[in-house]
Chain A
Amino acid sequence: GESVGLHLPTLSVQEGDNSIINCAYSNSASDYFIWYKQESGKGPQFIIDIRSNMDKRQGQRVTVLLNKTVKHLSLQIAATQPGDSAVYFCAENRGSNAGGTSYGKLTFGQGTILTVHP
C-alpha cells in the first residue's frame, strides 16, 4: 500500500529576510524548550533553548519566544542566509526537573522545512 509520511510545513524566504518558524506544544507542564536545526544527512543541531519561566531569549541572529498561555513557541531568524536552509524542530521537555534525570525525554515536533533562496 501507499505509505503516508509526515507532511512537514514549509517556509520559503529570500536571503536577507527575517524568518519566523512556529511550533505548538501540547503539555502545559513542559518546563524547557529547545529549537534544533537538522541539515540533510546530519543529526539535529542545538540552536537555542528557553525555560518556562522566560518568555523571550535571544542568541546570535536567533530569538525564541514562548507564549505559555496558548502553548506556542516561535523561532525568529534575522537576516536569513542560504546556510540556514534546513528542517527546524521544536522540542519540549515534559519533566519537572530539566537538570535531573527526567530531562532528555524530549518530545519533538514534526519539523518545518526552511528554504532560503539567494
Chain B
Amino acid sequence: DAGVIQSPRHEVTEMGQEVTLRCKPISGHNSLFWYRQTMMRGLELLIYFNNNVPIDDSGMPEDRFSAKMPNASFSTLKIQPSEPRDSAVYFCASRRSGQINSPLHFGNGTRLTVT
C-alpha cells in the first residue's frame, strides 16, 4: 500500500504566482479531502470530494483557491494568485466512504512558502 501521495513535498514561490498541489489517493478510496495546517489555526478542512464530486467547499478561504478531481486517482489544489498568508502545510487525505470504520489516511503534505 503506497499510501496517499502528494507532490511536491516543498514549494517556494513568489507572491502572485500560481501554485498547484497534487494528490494521488489510496487506490479504492472514493473520498478525498484537502486540509491546511498552520501554527495559528491548526488543521482546517478546505474541501472534500466523494466519487470525484465536490461535496463541501465551505472551508476554501477565497476564490483564489480551487480544487479539482478529474478522476478517482488524482486531485489538484490550485492557488492563483498566491499570497504570503497562504504559507502552510497542505495535506491530502482519503478514505473509503460507505464504511463506518474507515478512517482518513493522510499524505505527508506539501509545505508551501510564499514570499
Contact = CB atoms under 8 A, between A and B. Distances in A.
Given A108-B43, A110-B42, A111-B42, A101 B55 contact: yes
A71 to B, nearest CB: 19
B102 A43 contact: no
Contacts of A41: 108
Contact of A43 (B31, B41, B101, B107): B107
B33 A43 contact: no
A101 B106 contact: no
Interface stretch (A3-11, A19-27, A61-69, A73-81): A3-11
A83 interface: no
Nearest to B53: A101
B56 interface: yes
Interface stretch (B13-21, B69-77, B89-97): B89-97
Given A99-B102, A101-B55, A105-B56, A43 B93 contact: yes
A98 interface: yes
B26 interface: no
**A-side binding surface: helix, strand, loop or mixed?**
loop
A50 B104 CA distance: 14
A39 to B, nearest CB: 10
Interface residues of B, number: 29
Nearest to B42: A110
Given A43-B4, A104-B33, A6 B39 contact: yes
A44 B108 contact: no
Contacts of A99: 97-100, 102
Nearest to A48: B103
Given A5-B39, A98-B100, A109-B42, 12 more contacts: A3-B39, A4-B40, A42-B108, A42-B109, A46-B104, A46-B105, A49-B101, A101-B31, A103-B97, A104-B31, A104-B95, A104-B97
Interface of B: 4, 31, 33, 39-43, 45, 48, 50, 55-56, 91, 93, 95, 97-109
Interface of A: 3-6, 32, 34, 36, 41-46, 49, 51, 89, 98-101, 103-111
